Amino acid sequence: MSGGLFRKGVRLGVDVGTVRVGLAACDPDGILATPVRTLQRDSRRNSDIAVLVRTVLDRGAVEVIVGLPRTLQGKERASAEMARNYAELLVQALGRVGVDVPVRLVDERLSTVSAHSALHAAGVGSREHRKIIDQVAAAGILQHALDMERSLGTPVGNLVPAAPAPDATEPTDAARQREEPDIRPGNDQQGPTQ
């Protein structure tokens, strides 16, 4: 291992899809990633993010690795934007419960292809793939991040910044609307007349 960095602690791996979210975890020594579960993606209520936050708390996770899908040329498309948005929602949800666990985006090119190959090699039938493919892909993403960290001697991926806390001295949008008159044409309530 170069660089001398070896961080211990449970980490979670996340594979974000439009329908399902795969979840994996590593052992407390940060060596081996294993599949945990598949969550149904709930983009309206974000109940899947709530489950993920509970998993961070229950397992005492020290970091969350979210896969960032890129093309083979390294370009980002809609699925990458979805993963970025998901990671930001996760950071916000963790912040709301007072948990300061870093969330990192890590390149996940070909993770699903590798997961399909691994399942096929293990003798898992194609019909069964759908039930577990996302969590196996998440394990692949997490294992790749763990291996790269050991190889490079530094955490990998891009840290998702925490959302800035609202400044208590700045009025909220609702307060600004109460303070500022609506001066749009045709609005009878334009503030006091002179």
> Does the pLDDT of residue 98 top 90, yes or no?
yes
Q: Which residue, among 167, 160, 166, has the nearest Cα to 14 in the 3D structure?
A: 160
* Predicted TM-score (pTM) of this structure: 0.75
The domain ranges of the chain are 11-163
CA 89/CA 84 separation, integer angstroms: 9
Q: For residue 52, what pLDDT band results from cuts at 50, 70 and 90?
A: very high
Domain 11-163, CATH among 3.40.50.720, 3.30.420.140, 3.90.650.10, 1.10.10.10: 3.30.420.140
> Does the pLDDT of residue 191 top 90, yes or no?
no
Angle, vertex CA 27, rays to CA 23 and CA 28, nearest 5: 120
CA 71/CA 42 separation, integer angstroms: 25
CA 165/CA 78 separation, integer angstroms: 28
